[in-house]
Amino acid sequence: MPLRHFQNRQPHSSPSLSWNGRYVAALVQQGNQRLALIEDRVSGNLHRLPLPADNTAVRLSLSPEARQLAVQVTQAGQWRVQLFDLRSLLEPDLPGGTAVQGGGAQTSP
């Protein structure tokens, strides 16, 4: 099942889904950068996590309701975990909602 915004940014790693599959978070490669992205499969929007240039994302975890994102980064050779609040950015994807089927919306963000 192709993901609109991920296709040209390979390889991917550390995928994380919200409750009903509306949001997919993953790490992708763009040039020499490792980016943390969240794709909204209902609206087609793409959200990029702002990380300082000296931080490299290693692993992430999206909370099932899509309220928070935890990112493991390396900074100066040391691992850290940082938490981000997504509530002002994303509608929650609550349990019992409608599962998202297919590859998501094709509209531009």
78 binds other proteins (CB under 8 A): yes
Residue 12 CB contacts under 8 Å (≥ 6 apart), including other chains: 6, 26, 27, 28, 29
Q: Which stretch binds other proteins (CB under 8 A): 3-11, 26-34, 66-74, 101-109?
A: 66-74
In the bound complex, what is the minimum distance in angstroms from residue 100's beta carbon to other proteins? 16
Q: Which of 49, 91, 92, 105 binds other proteins (CB under 8 A)?
A: 49
Q: Is 72 in the site for other proteins (CB under 8 A)?
A: yes
Alpha carbon distance 78, 55 (integer Å):
10
Determine contact, residues 42/48, Cβ cutoff 8 Å.
no
Contact residue for other proteins among 5, 24, 40, 63 (CB under 8 A):
63
Enter the tokens of residue 11.
Answer: 């390889």
Distance CA 82, CA 32 (A): 22
**Looking at 8, 88, 101, 107, which residue binds other proteins (CB under 8 A)?**
88
**CB contact at 8 A, 14 and 26:** yes
Chain residues that interact with other proteins, rule: CB under 8 A: 19, 47, 49-50, 58-65, 68-72, 78-86, 88-89, 95
